[in-house]
Amino acid sequence: MTEPDPHTLTGVYALDALDSAEQARFDEHLRGCAACRAEVAELTETASQLASAAALPVSPDVRAGVLAAVEHVRQVSPFPATADLDARRSRRWYQQPASIAAALMLVVSGGLGALALDERQQARVAEQRAARVTAVATDPDRLELSVPVSTGGYGTVVASGGSALFRTSDVKTLPDYQVYQLWILRSGSPQSAGLLGRGGVLEAFVDGVRPTDALGLTIEPEGGSVRPTGSLVLRVDMA
Amino acid sequence: MTFLEVSDEIIPLVAPLRRTLRPSVLSDEQASVDELLNRVARGDGPAFELLYDRVANSVYGVIRRVLRDPAQSEEVTQEVLIEVWRFATRFDSERGSATTWIHTMAHRRAIDRVRSAQASHDRDEKVARRDQVTAYDEVAERVEARLEQQHVRRCLEHLTDLQRESVTLAYYGGYTYREVAEILDIPLGTVKTRMRDGLIRLRDCLGVTS
Ligand SMILES: [Zn+2]
């Protein structure tokens, strides 16, 4: 199939009718194409009137729920949150390798050399971490599981001795107000295992996993959540 | 999972009709959605309540169109409106109106929900959804007939059948344009053009200026 002319996709885009990969490509196109940006803006205003036309009375319970909730919800800063930067930094150790084995090689060898001097402390942490990652991936009794992500693709977990390597295939790109968040699902108290980004190959190294736990991946508002609020798109039981 | 709380308060179900802006100092009633959102971005709780009353019905309506299930739609509506509060600080009026920003968020949330839920379903299900898109139109018509809605409906009637079906299957049905092509049994290129031409005709009829 030949690549379609992107300029003709403005209407489809305004109706949110592209699949996630195509939408990501068109977002990229929009960055460099002022004509499409202008047309998309107009057509999106038009599509928005289709929402106005669909208005229906919503239950007062929703109003009460929303107004009660926002009293406890902090607004994000007007600029991209530092949480995003932290998430990017923690992902550096495993950037887009072709396999878990490749990820390990990157972490163990080349990954550390590229660091600036002021990141020496982080490098030490990374070295310790690399040793633990190696221990997991080379344990003959390690657990290896692959399960589908409900929005497409799959996630793989390699676990041993309370530590787990988590890696997905190329997953659906989220809009810029959302993020994938990984959780240790323990009955009664899910614990965040970090923000993994908005799409692509997601990776994490998780410590303190018990055999009775599960790992869960949810879609959360940008900046992440204290406990899971979005839909669970993947769940892997460690037992 | 829900954090709904029951309220005994009596709240009017129908949002006030949109007012025309005047250049003088505006009362809360007259403030535009854009002005309200700017106040919300500064942490103004009372402005958020006013904003809620302006947009909640259309947010719920569009989510309900896509998801159809009332309980799930209420849940997503709640999530979206909390996000409006959280992310009001990031709204950029250069890129479009506040109403559009909110509607886009709502529509995309509903689409995400329906696509993840529908990922494993087959074509029969798609056809069933298509029929329900039409059936729901009639229900909505009985429930409410606001002027604005009538205007949009009249304009939709000015589209060709193929334009209208393509636009509504995508926007209200939540289908990708590939699925729309499959449902209507027409080439992908045709669907792309029909969606774009349909929206342009709708824009001209509605008099949208951006
Ligand atoms: Zn273009």
Pick the closest to residue B133 from B197, B99, B101, B180 (CA basis). Answer: B180
Task: Identify whether A214 is part of a domain.
Answer: yes
Which amino acid is present at B63? I
CATH placement of domain B3-131: 1.10.1740.10
CATH number of the domain enclosing A186: 2.60.40
Of A25-29, A149-153, B37-41, B197-201, the least confident: A149-153
Domain-by-domain residue ranges, chain B?
Answer: 3-131, 138-206
Compute the nearest-CA separation of A106 from chain B (Å): 33
- For residue B39, the Cα-to-chain-centroid distance in whole angstroms is 22
For residues A20 and A110, which has the higher predicted lDDT (pLDDT)?
Answer: A20
Taking contacts as CB-CB distances below 8 angstroms, the residues of chain A near B99 are 48, 52
Q: pLDDT tens for residues B152-162?
A: 989 999 999 99
Residue A198 domain boundaries: 143-237
- For A68-79, the three-class secondary structure string (H helix, E strand, C coil) is HHHCCCCCCCCC
Query: How far apart, in whole angstroms, are the C-alpha atoms of residue A238 and residue A193?
Result: 15
CATH placement of domain B138-206: 1.10.10.10
User: Which positions ≥6 away from A202 have C-beta within 8 Å?
Assistant: A155, A166, A167, A168, A171, A180, A182, A196, A217
Compute the nearest-CA separation of A42 from chain B (Å): 5
8 Å CB contact of B60 and A55: yes
Domains of chain A: total: 2
Alpha helices in B145-187 (DSSP H): 147-157, 161-171, 177-184
Query: Is the entire prediction scored with pTM above 0.90?
Result: no
pLDDT value of position A41: 96
Query: Is the pLDDT confidence value at B120 over 60?
Result: no
Q: pLDDT tens for residues B131-154?
A: 555 555 545 544 445 667 788 989
* Count of C-beta atoms within a 10 Å radius of residue A95: 12
pLDDT value of position A210: 84
C-alpha of residue A105 to centroid of ligand 1, in Å = 41
Which member of A45, A51, A61 has the closest CB to residue B208? A45
Compute the nearest-CA separation of A32 from chain B (Å): 15
* Assigned token pair, B39: 């106040």
- The number of residues making up chain A comes to 239
Q: pLDDT tens for residues B17-51?
A: 333 333 334 567 678 999 999 999 999 999 999 99
Pick the closest to residue B55 from A44, A51, A222 (CA basis). Answer: A51
| Ramachandran quadrant class, A162 (left: phi over 0; alpha: psi -120 to 50; beta: rest) | left
Task: Identify whether A230 is part of a domain.
Answer: yes
